[in-house]
Structure 1
Amino acid sequence: MQLVEAYAEATRGLIEGGADLIMIETIFDTLNAKAAVFAIETVFDELGVKLPIMISGTITDASGRTLSGQTTEAFYNSLRHAKPLTFGLNCALGPKELRPYVEMMSKISETFVSVHPNAGLPNAFGGTI
């Protein structure tokens, strides 16, 4: 319940601050994202507003899965009920490594697809490769 309350508080602040949309991003675990969606929808009902929602998950490595073990397709299917403006992927991988997962998302998604890859991948010396 604390997670839902935290997302609700953040959503209220964003709406009161004039946000045009709400983005749930860098999702490693869809249970957290579902809590965010629930909180956002609750706040929309409370305030009598409805803003577009963007959802963006994170593929953590070459396994093609989120940290909680979901494939791109499972991630999408777990959250499609939210009917967001976009589904997408962000962080963790660079553009080249993220491309196959974005292509998969574009084949299955009924929404627009977004992508925000890392500009480069970190190396052991603190730089990027």
Structure 2
Amino acid sequence: MVVLGRRPDAASGEAAMIGRLRVHDRYVARSALVTVAMAWAVLLGFDLIVALVGALDDIGKGSYGFADAVLQTVLTAPRRAYELFPTAAVIGCLLGLGSLASGSELIALRSVGLSRLRITVSVLAALAVLTLA
């Protein structure tokens, strides 16, 4: 028997959900992405402050002033952000999964039948989207 709106091979719920994110995927992805963004912002902020302090040593050499030091720091921010992303991704994912674990949400996800691999795939898929965007 063919049910309208579903593919004939979609007898199981798993096959029917291909192409759509499930609630738990969105939940885990949101948790991971929010903490990755926060870790990225904190790391970038610290790195920019250190870069600005390093550039302050050159003030007074020739016509190099404070505005030039700030401009140099701001213009190198995209490169610094790009270089810091892998570190922020690792730290953010660990913090995101840690916050889920501290609230027993990982246990709840496991109790509804999700494997550790499935939860990991949800996090990696979210990072892949962020990396490719």
The TM-score with structure 1 as length reference comes to 0.28
Q: Which structure is higher in RCO with an 8 Å CA cutoff and minimum separation 6?
A: 2
The TM-score with structure 2 as length reference comes to 0.28
* Structure ranking higher in helix proportion: 2
Higher Cα Rg: structure 1 or 2? 2
